[in-house]
Every structure is written in C-alpha cells, then in structure tokens.
Structure 1
Amino acid sequence: MRISKIRYYYPIGLFVAFFLDGSLSEKFAGSFFTNTMSIESRLFLLWIVMGVFFAKVEHPYFWAFTIGLMFDLFYTGVIGPFFMLIPLILYLTKMMYSFFTPSFIVVLLIYLIDIALLTLLFYWINVLIGFTSLSLTNFISGTLGPTLAYNLAAFVILYLPIKSLMEGSSR
C-alpha cells in the first residue's frame, strides 16, 4: 500500500499559507490597511477549498480546527471565532462540492462565497462582543469588497500551481 504525498504536503501547505497571510499583511500593511479600507488575505482558505476539490485529505476537520485555533491565537486574541468558523466553512464547502463538477469557475465562486461568509460571520461576532461599531455598509465597502478583490487576484494566480500540486501528490 502506497502512502500519498498529500498526507504531508497538505498540512505543510496549510501552515505556509497561514503564515504567508500574516506576512503579506505585515509587509503590505500600508496598502492593505488604510483609513477607508482593509484587506484580509485568506490564502489558508484557498488551500482548504482546493484540498476539498483536488486532494484526498485525511482528517480535514482536524486541520480546520487546528488552523482555526492558530488563527485565533496569533491574529484575533479571542479563542473561538475562527476555531468554529473554519470547520463550518469546510463543511459548507464539502456540501457545495457534492453538487458541482470541479472547474476553474466553480472553485472560484465557492472560494468567494466562503470568503464572504467567513468575513461576514466574523464581522457579526465582533459586533456582538463589542469589538467593532462599524456599520454594515462601511464594512461591505471598506473590508468585504477589497478582501474579495484581493483574494480573487490571488486565486487566479495560484489556482493552477496548487491544483497541479494537489492532484499530483494525491496519486
């Protein structure tokens, strides 16, 4: 019995994407975060979505909980939001996956839905616990829109390399 390489590549790639999100946000902080907008890099979510579509990942929920906990510890300071949201997004992605045949457009649309849902749910959690008083209109125009645009560009650039890596290492 042959062990597929994705068993090792998936968690390594997930953690690289996670740390790359933070590194890009710090490196380009002047461009990503201004008075009128903020861009949230979600490359780790791209990795999770691509894993659902193009790899046979062992224990995907374990990795989703782990990356959610790490996100909470490193970036939010509040344990819980991403710890619960990332596995929920994974579950919804798997549900949507069952209805579609993977293609560039299908994966792109599901990825954008996932980002919009994750960002919106995190905003609502922050409103509920009093961490933000930003109006929904300002949130959509200042955070959600730029975040979707940035992650759309990242998806277009990274789709083929990640797809090739995942398909090649899942065999």
Structure 2
Amino acid sequence: MRISKMRYFFPLGLFLGLFLDGTFSNLFSKQMFSTNFSIESRLFVLWLVMCVCLGEVEHSMFWAVCVGFVFDLYYTGIIGPFVMIVPLIVYLTKIMYSFFKPSFIVVLLIYLIDIALLTLLFYWINVMIGFTNSSLTSFISTTLGPTLAYNLAAFVICYFPLQRFIETFSR
C-alpha cells in the first residue's frame, strides 16, 4: 500500500498559505487597505479548496480546524470564529464539488462562493460581538467586492501550477 505524498504536503501548504496571507497583507498594506476599500487575502482557502476538489486529502476536517485555530490565535485573538467557519467551508466544498465534474470554472466558482461565505460569516460574527458597526452595503462595497476580485486574480494565477502539483503528488 502506497501512501500519498499529499498527506504531508496538504498541511504544509495550508499553513504556508495562511502565513503568506499575512505576509502579503503586511507587505502590500498600502495597496490592500485604505479608507475606500479593504482586501483580505485568502490563499489558504485557495489551497484548501483545490486540494479538496482535485486531490486525495486525508483528514481535511482536522486540518481545517487546526488552521482555523491558528488563524484565530495569530490574526484575530479571539478563539472560535475561524475554528468553526473553515471546517464549514471544507464541508460545503465537498458537497458542492460532488455534483460537478472537475474543471477550472467549477473550482473557480466553488472558491468564490467559499470566499464570499467565509467573509460574510466573519463579518456577521463581528457584528454580533460588536467589533464592527458598518452596514452590510458598506461591507459589500468596501471589503467583499475587492476581496473577491483579489482572490479571483490569485486563483487565475495559481490554478494550473497548483493543479499540476496536487495531481502529481496525490497519486
């Protein structure tokens, strides 16, 4: 019985994507954050969605909880929101992908739905606990729209290299 190398690459790529998100946000903070817009990089979700859709990943829920916990500890300081949201994203990705044949457009749409859902749920949690008081329309125009545009560009750039990597090491 042969063990897939994705068993090792999946958590590594997940945490690498998580820390690249923070690095890009820090390096390009003047371009990503202003009074008119705020862009959230979600490369770890890109890795998660592509691995779940295109690869043979073991224990994806466990790693989703782990990366959610690390995200909460490192970026928000509140344990809970991403610990719940990231496994939900994995679960919904598996359900959505089961209805379609693999293709660039299918994975793209699932990724954009996941990003929108993750961003909206995090916004909703922040409204519930009083961390933000911006309106939903303001949030959609200043955060959700630019976030989707940035992550769409990241997806288009990274899809084919990641697809080849995932398919090579999932065998």
TM-score range, shorter chain: over 0.9
Q: Aligned partner of 1:146: which letter? A: P
| Matched positions, count | 171
Q: 1:8 deviation in Å?
A: 0.9
Q: Residue type of the partner of 2:141?
A: S
> What is the identity, as a one-letter code, of the residue corresponding to 2:83?
F
List per-residue Cα deviations over 1:22-76 (Å, max 9, x = no partner). 0000000011110111000000000110011111111000100000000000111
Question: Matches of 1:50 and 1:76 in 2, distance apart?
Answer: 25
The alignment's C-alpha RMSD in Å is 0.5
What CA distance in whole angstroms lies between the structure 2 residues aligned with 1:139 and 1:41?
16
Query: Which residue of 2 is the match for residue 104 of structure 1?
Result: 104
Structure 1: gaps spanning 5 or more residues: none
Aligned to 1:19: 19
Equivalent in the alignment of 1:87: 87
- The within-5 A match list for 1:105-120 is 105-120=105-120
DSSP 3-state at the match of 2:47? helix
CA deviation after TM superposition for structure 1 residue 3, in Å: 1.4
Structure 2 alignment gaps of length 5 or more? none
Q: Distance in 1 between matches of 2:102 and 2:26?
A: 33
Cα distance in structure 2, aligned partners of 1:59 and 1:42:
21
**Within 2, Cα distance between the matches of 1:123 and 1:151?**
17
Question: Are residues 1:170 and 2:167 paired?
Answer: no
1:150 maps to what in 2? 150
State the Cα deviation string for residues 55-107 of structure 1 (Å, max 9, x = none).
11110001000000000001111100000000001100100011001100000
Structure 2 equivalent of residue 55 of structure 1: 55
Identity of aligned residues (%): 68
